A and B are shown apart, each in its own frame.
Chain A
Amino acid sequence: MSIQDTGMTASMMQSELESAITLEQVCKKRREHRIGPINWSIPRGYVTALVGENGTGKSTLIHMLLRTLYPDSGRITWMGEACEGELPVHLRQQIAYVAELPMLEENRSTARQAAAFRSQWYPNWNQQRFEELLHQLKVPEDVRLSKLSKGQQQKFVFAAALATSPKLLLLDEPSSGLDPFAWKDMLSALHSEMERGDVTVLITTHRMEEVKRLADYVALMYEGQICGMKEKDELYQQWKEVWLGPVADRQLLDDLKELPGILDWDAKPDGSVRVHTSQPAELQQIAEENDIPVQVNGLEWEELLSCWVNDYRIHHLGEAKV
């Protein structure tokens, strides 16, 4: 396989990317779908966003990383350590997890009591940080968690996760249910968390603004597979939208259509065409040489991800172009 095939970019290959978690040939069969085989490394010290459609296996994957689900086959290593059975305590103490709908065992406790309990399990528990976050996120400390709103519970879980000073933070749609104010606070808390250094974050999200503001790398999951991982800023420039025409010369259009890099070709009734391509410069040059009006636009994140999925379907699953 060439570098391009695996979705790895040259700069990633060159740099000394250490991995926080490595998956080799990991498979898991669920009732509705099959996940894997997954071969993937989560780069240490960076924020990686895991994106993909609903039901594609992102949460299942996270549960395997937490060891709350075991893979049917394959191997996972955490900071270079593999394990049989449960995750050893010294690894668990370094991992924090925030789920999209918090299920709290400590429902009858207040935030203060729950924190006191949790702090016993984590040698690096930072009480000051915890209190700061609760205050910032406006979570009452002395009310039973069960009496709090879903959003407030979410904020408690988030604050408690950061208070453990984790090396590895797994966030499964952490912002669902948060109001925009809390969302902003969560982002800035995560940014300052990353300043601490040697923290690895894996976040699944459907909010593209979150990817844009947080991620260093983006990994795409599709039908139980990791399609690849790209540097966010390279992904951003990977595909462009090109508008051509209107063009009267059908033959010329047919020729242009065969240019490399073109993912889809949307011909409009007036003879103009909207194209998604990874090689806009070439298309633009040829169009200009032939006096065809041409305009290249950047794409929104949602569209970029669709392009990535299409690219994967065309080049890896052998499906026809649209």
Chain B
Amino acid sequence: MRIPVQINENSAEPLYRQVEDQLRALILSGQIEEGRLLPSIREFAAELKCSVITIRRVYQDLENEGLLRTRQGTGTFVTKVEEEQRVRLGEQQIRQLLDEVITRGTNFGWNRQQLHELFEQLLSERQLP
């Protein structure tokens, strides 16, 4: 199955970070479930048109975070994500995204209240509990 990672070629963010952030989010959100075998480094690199060096770095970083495990001869798997870890990393991600939103907003001259109102409005539109 395809791993839905997309590279933005205009972004100043290094490719490995783009891939790493997206793959981490997919694992933490449970979209790629525990035990899933990931594509080989070469295969994934070919799919994303990036180099094996980038993918190796991503797999290694996520292995160090405990999200992936490589078994010699079989491949790289998604490990079990502890609930506490999921919550912590999830928060970290969302915080980062919101932080970026605030930066963008202030660049456009938005103030606290405008941002707040828009956020509330979007929440209501989704009818979140």
Contacts and interface: CB of A to CB of B under 8 A. Distances in A.
Given A191-B42, A195-B43, A216-B53, A233 B10 contact: no
B42 A217 contact: no
B9 interface: yes
Contacts of A296: 10, 12
B12 A237 contact: yes
Given A215-B51, A217-B51, A233-B16, 15 more contacts: A11-B57, A46-B51, A195-B42, A213-B46, A216-B45, A216-B52, A231-B54, A232-B53, A233-B14, A233-B53, A234-B14, A236-B9, A236-B15, A237-B14, A281-B12
Interface residues of A, number: 22
A233 B12 contact: no
Chain A interface SS verdict (over half): helix
Interface string B6-49: 00011110111000000000000000000000001011011001
A11 B42 contact: no
A213 B16 CA distance: 16
Interface of B: 9-12, 14-16, 40, 42-43, 45-46, 49-54, 57
Contacts of A11: 53, 57
Contact of B52 (A46, A237, A297): A46
6 contacts: A46-B51, A213-B49, A216-B53, A233-B16, A237-B14, A298-B10
Interface in A300-322: none
Interface string A176-200: 0000000000000001001100000
Contacts of B40: 195
Nearest to B19: A233
